[in-house]
Amino acid sequence: MENALLCDDIYKILEDEIVSLKIRPGETLSENSLCKRFSVSRTPVRSVLQRLQQNRFVQIIPHKETIVTPIDLDIASQLIYQRVAVETMILRDFVKTCTPTDVARVRYAMQLLEEAAADVAEPEHFDINNFLSKDLEMHKIWFRATNKMFLWETLIRPQPDYSRFIRLDIMGAKNVPDVLSDHERMIEIIDSKDVDAIEGIMTHHLFGGVRRLGGQLFSEEYRDFFLQKNL
């Protein structure tokens, strides 16, 4: 049991580091280095690496090395498409049934998001984790209010393609003005109960990374992040 818990802890640390791009696509994970870092034998390290491979975060090349996988832009785009479809339906339900208290929660979440964006003018002080967390908390409100939390947990589960693509979009706080503007538009839609406008804002918002990065996705700066078949 203790060994299983240790493996879970190591897995979570490495998954977080890969998702946050602290460990970048193409980097090698050395068994020896991991054993030394976590003060464990090869057995739990190998178990963790196998689990990371099962979840497509790494590729194990037998008798050679373990490499962090590139982002598959095709898969990331499909997962964005899925989230647009699901969240459009959820927000429609929310708009039709939300109470004044629900709306107040959304407004407070927007306030917290704006506070998280306060350091946007100084990217070196900008807390990516805090901003992303506050962004997700606002979306979570309509999932909770419509009793769709299983769907929410499924959509935000760490994933090697979509999760890292989101981080790539937010690096350097480049997406902050767009994200704030999109959330302000969502509040306007909730206030006016304009359900016909929901799909448009969700498409614009969730595909924002593709729109913002645009041609940069194929530049030298980003090339190493992505699976080459996408480029």
Give the model confidence (pLDDT) of 58-85 as tens digits.
999 998 899 999 999 999 999 999 999 9
CATH of span 7-68: 1.10.10.10
Its pTM stands at 0.90
Q: Which fold has domain 73-225?
A: Four Helix Bundle (Hemerythrin (Met), subunit A) (1.20.120)
Among 66-70, 111-115, 158-162, 223-227, whose mean pLDDT is lowest?
Answer: 223-227
Q: In what order do the strands lie in the sheet with 65-68?
A: 28-29, 65-68, 58-61
Q: At what angle do helices 128-145 and 176-192 cross, to 10 degrees?
A: 20
How confident is residue 2, by pLDDT bands cut at 50, 70 and 90? very low
Establish how many alpha carbons lie within 13 A of residue 90's alpha carbon, considering only the half-sphere containing its beta carbon.
23
Nearest to 207 by CA among 174, 166, 155: 166
pLDDT of residue 214: 81
Q: Which residues contact 221 (CB under 8 A, 6 or more apart)?
A: none
Residue 67: beta bridge partners?
A: 28, 59
Select the highest-mean-pLDDT range: 36-45, 55-64, 121-130, 138-147.
138-147
Domain layout of the chain by residue ranges: 7-68, 73-225
Are 71 and 226 in contact by the 8 Å Cβ rule? The answer is: yes
pLDDT at position 20 over 60: yes
pLDDT of residue 5: 61
pLDDT at position 221 over 90: no
Mean pLDDT of the chain, nearest integer: 92
**In whole angstroms, what is the distance from residue 139 CA to residue 137 CA?**
6
**In whole angstroms, what is the distance from residue 18 CA to residue 165 CA?**
11
**Region of residue 227 (phi > 0: left; psi between -120 and 50: alpha; otherwise: beta):** beta
pLDDT at position 135 over 70: yes
